[in-house]
Structure 1
Amino acid sequence: MQDMPWSDVEPLQYLNGDLTSVLESVHALQGAWKAVVSANDVAFQEARRRSLRRHAIETGIIERLYDVDWGVTEALVAEGLTADAVARVADGAVSEDVLELIRSQYDALEFLTQAARDGRDVSVSLIKELHVALTRRQPTYTATGPTGMVFQATLHHGQWKSQKNHVTRPDGSVLEYTPPEHVAAQMDELVRLYQSTESADPLIRAAWLHHRFVRIHPFEDGNGRVARCLTLLGLLKYDLAPLVVDRRERDRYLRCLDRGNEGDLRPLVRFFSELEIVALRSELERPPVPLGETEMAGGALAVLGAGIDRLRGLQAETGAVERAKSTEDLAGAVQLRLGTWLNGMAEQFGVMLTGIDPLARASVQSAMPPDERARFWRWQVVQAARSVDFFANLQDGVWWTRLRLAALGQELRYLVFLQKVGRGETGVLALTVYAEMLSKDADEGAKQEAEQLIVSTPTETVTWIYTDTPEARWQSVVEVLDATLAGALHKFTSALG
């Protein structure tokens, strides 16, 4: 790359290209989300807190402030940001200092959520308040002196930088941020231009604000964390969910920012849109409401009665029957397409593999509800759903398609799942993938012997709502299948010898 000098903030330009489909997907899912989720619901509030806890953890990992094991992360998200949650994870270890930093970042998100509820808009004063809240537990930052010496400098909370903070990219080129003497004027202009874009789609506005804020880099440290919070503020004001950029998406996130530096904001808009779909889908989980004292005091019969009442309530929701029927028809139609695509790939794979092993085989199998086989692969289904942060509705089973490759004593199982999202009939359908490998002598039922090769990441999924057609997301399906299958095949062939 060439050196990139700093530049004045530029207004949001018209973005042409292929954004219409993904933005329509977001707003269609938002409609389904509003139909089944109440912002005052206890279960929704807990789902929102989990989203904010995940953001609080991952935003620091993205910046390399600390590292937290994935298992520990899941415990902290599910149970709360406590030392007890860490202790309950085998080999879990997070220092109290790191926990305090994560808690301060969570508190900043709570502050941001309240700001959105109060109708506060982006302003210079809000940005400075946000920086103070995010970094209050961070006394220093890593700085580089004029001679190249790295040292710990005092972090001035809520104050614009007083020294240049340009960065040298891995290829040696320099990315210049706004010089200190121009920061105040550029931040005033950023806020003014942002307020003039209210007619634009919230996700486009969020991506523009995010990128332009990062290009200014107004603070000594914490700029990425502030930028991601500003993105959430813009989304929350329009009844969208708080998206999370997690460690698995870091490289793509940075690539999208670099594309923005080159003048193309579309990759960042698409990236945020895909993460917003994940966020909305996650909040459809609606975990069961905790039992009250009356049910607990009433014993087993009272507990069972409360559970049955909850299930009846889900089944009786307005439009539940129609949503269920439409979702099932949609899943069946998508699965037919999946079968055709994977059978075509299997034929080609079989020919190629017999070149190294005459006994090599490639086959495709599938099942759908109400077939009992639709309940196969339960463990893999749950793992795939957890990986992208939503509840796997296994009441009737799932629509699954399996591509099996066997060669040189190894077996690859590449699984594509179509599953309903959330408890009850939300009308939302998600595609996830999971791939595993095992030796040919392994017992079919011995799942513990299989090695996980691939599991969906947040942007390696596809989501439909019950009013969609299979064609509406098919290009996205092919992109996910091609990318994940390529990754699985690379690991599979590497293990052959």
Structure 2
Amino acid sequence: MPDLQWVEVEPLPHVNGDLLPVLESVDSLQRAWQEVVQANDPAFQEARRRSLRRHAIETGIIERLYEVDWGVTEALVAEGITADAVARADDGTVSEDVLALIRSQYEALQFLAESARDGRDVSVSLIRELHQALAREQKTYTATDQLGRRFEARLHHGQWKTEKNHVTRPDGSLLEYTPPEHVAAQMDRLIELYRETEGVHPIVRAAWLHHRFVRIHPFEDGNGRVARCLTLLNLLRCDLAPLVVDRRERDRYLRSLDRANEGDLRPLVRFFAELEIVALRSELERPVETTSEVVAGGALSVLEAGVARFRALQSETGAQERAEQVGRLANDVHTRISLWLTDMSKRIENLVGEISAHSIVSLQEAAPPDSRARFWGRQVVQTARSVDFFVNRHDGVWWQRLRIHALGQELRYLVFVQKVGRGETGVLALTVYAELMGDEAGDDTRQEAETVLISTPTESVTWTYSDTADTRWQDVTELLDTTLAAALHRFVSALG
């Protein structure tokens, strides 16, 4: 690839119509979210705190500032960013220095949320304040001298860079950021052009601002963290949820930014849109908060509070209508997935039959109110947690299982259509899971299945009760095709 020289900030380019379906999905989910989420609900406030904690942890992992094991991350998200939460986690440790850095990043996000509530918009002064808050606990950064030697330099909080900070891309080409002498003027121009984008879809606007800020790279270090904060501010001001770029999505995030460097903003817009769908879906979870007073009242007091909450969720305005509509939608999606998998299973059967005369390829499915709709409970919960939402299993889920058995190996590829959130939120999500089992002759002990595939946040599809099965069907077929290909690759690799 040729070197990319620095360029002056340019206005938001035209973004073509192939992004319209995913942006409409964001808008549809936002409307459903607004119907069931109340900003003053303590459960919503806790869900929002969890989102910000996750962002605070992952934003540093994306930048390779530190590593935090997944189990510790989940403990910090659920309980708070404390040493006690780390101590109660099953695996890993986190130093006090890293915890202090994560806390400062979390506090910066709280400041950001308050700024959004107060109606404060992006400005040069706010950007400087954000950098000061985010990097407060970071004293140095890794710099490179003129001879290419790396050393630890002092980080100047909230101040524009005074030295070039160009980077070498993975292919060896040079990516130039704005030279120090032009930073102040380019930042002023960025804010001017940003204000001219008023009225553009907030996801498109956020992606453009994010990329253009990164291309300036105005600070010595911490530019990615500030850019992701600016994205959140843009979304929060438009009553959207704070999306999180986590470690599983790092490679796609960087690829999308590089495509934007080359003039195509669409991959970054789509990436942010898909993460926003995940964020809105996650906040429908409304985690249960049990107060100390309720716990002190004993077991029956806790149960009574839970029953009261369940009744309140069931009696919410529009809950019954949402339940009926989302049930019909789930049945339609389930039927279409069944047809797709039936066709695929016949093709797989023909191919597998060429290598094993005793191969078995079968398809099984179930949907509510069938009692079998409650099968695969562990896998259902695992996939939901992997993409950060609570699955409502009250009536069961709509599932399909493709089973392939050949040459001592068995692959189970599972597709779930699940209700999202406690109560009848009117939201559905499709997730996938695959596991592999060997067939050890003479071994009659129970075998543990090996998980070979589980949905990541952007490997899922979401509908709201007002959608049709057609709404995101192209996304469904692409997801099924890519994940089944990945599962089959693991299966074929394990064959004798």
Query: What is the TM-score of this pair, normalised by structure 2?
Result: 0.97
Other structure's SS at 1:463 match: strand
Q: How does 1:257-336 map to 2 (within 5 A)?
A: 257-291=257-291, 293=293, 295-296=294-295, 298-336=297-335
Distance 1:87 1:442 in 2: 43
Which residue does the alignment assign to 2:352? Answer: 353
Distance 2:199 2:239 in 1: 16
Q: How far 1:485 moved relative to its partner?
A: 1.0
Distance 2:393 2:251 in 1: 33
Query: What is the TM-score of this pair, normalised by structure 1?
Result: 0.97
Distance 2:23 2:422 in 1: 25
Which residue does the alignment assign to 1:480? Answer: 479
Contact 1:56/1:105, CA 8 A, preserved across alignment: yes
Letter in 2 for 1:401: Q
Other structure's SS at 2:324 match: helix
Other structure's SS at 1:434 match: strand
Relative to structure 1, the CA distance from residue 296 to residue 227 in structure 2 (aligned partners, 3 Å threshold; closer, same or farther) is closer
Letter in 1 for 2:98: V
Q: How far 1:442 moved relative to its partner?
A: 9.9
Q: How far 1:96 moved relative to its partner?
A: 1.1
Letter in 2 for 1:225: R
CA deviation profile, 1:197-225 (whole Å, cap 9, x unmatched): 11111111100000000000000000000
Which residue does the alignment assign to 2:5? Answer: 5
Distance 2:484 2:361 in 1: 14
The alignment yields a C-alpha RMSD, in angstroms, of 1.5
Q: How far 1:376 moved relative to its partner?
A: 0.6
Distance 2:211 2:50 in 1: 26
| Deviating more after overlay: 445-454 vs 371-380 | 445-454
Q: How does 1:413-428 map to 2 (within 5 A)?
A: 413-428=412-427
Distance 1:341 1:296 in 2: 49
Q: How does 1:83-232 map to 2 (within 5 A)?
A: 83-232=83-232
Letter in 2 for 1:51: S
Q: 1:78 aligned to 2:78?
A: yes
Q: How does 1:456-467 map to 2 (within 5 A)?
A: 456-467=455-466
Q: Which runs of 5+ in 1 are unaligned?
A: none
Q: How far 1:296 moved relative to its partner?
A: 4.2
Other structure's SS at 1:370 match: coil
Which residue does the alignment assign to 1:383? Answer: 382
Q: How far 1:441 moved relative to its partner?
A: 5.2
Contact 1:431/1:461, CA 8 A, preserved across alignment: yes
Percent identical pairs in the alignment equals 71
CA deviation profile, 1:19-67 (whole Å, cap 9, x unmatched): 1111110011000000000001000000000000100111011111111
Distance 1:430 1:385 in 2: 9
Q: How far 1:158 moved relative to its partner?
A: 0.4
Q: How does 1:407-418 map to 2 (within 5 A)?
A: 407-418=406-417
Contact 2:108/2:130, CA 8 A, preserved across alignment: yes
Q: How far 1:2 moved relative to its partner?
A: 0.9
Other structure's SS at 2:392 match: coil
CA deviation profile, 1:55-102 (whole Å, cap 9, x unmatched): 011101111111111111111111111111111122321111111111
Distance 1:111 1:311 in 2: 34
Which residue does the alignment assign to 2:397? Answer: 398
Relative to structure 1, the CA distance from residue 222 to residue 422 in structure 2 (aligned partners, 3 Å threshold; closer, same or farther) is same
Letter in 1 for 2:243: L
Other structure's SS at 2:10 match: coil
Distance 1:354 1:338 in 2: 24
Q: Which runs of 5+ in 2 are unaligned?
A: none
Other structure's SS at 1:18 match: helix
Distance 1:297 1:104 in 2: 34
Q: How far 1:297 moved relative to its partner?
A: 5.3
Q: How far 1:17 moved relative to its partner?
A: 3.0
Which residue does the alignment assign to 1:48? Answer: 48
Distance 2:300 2:272 in 1: 47
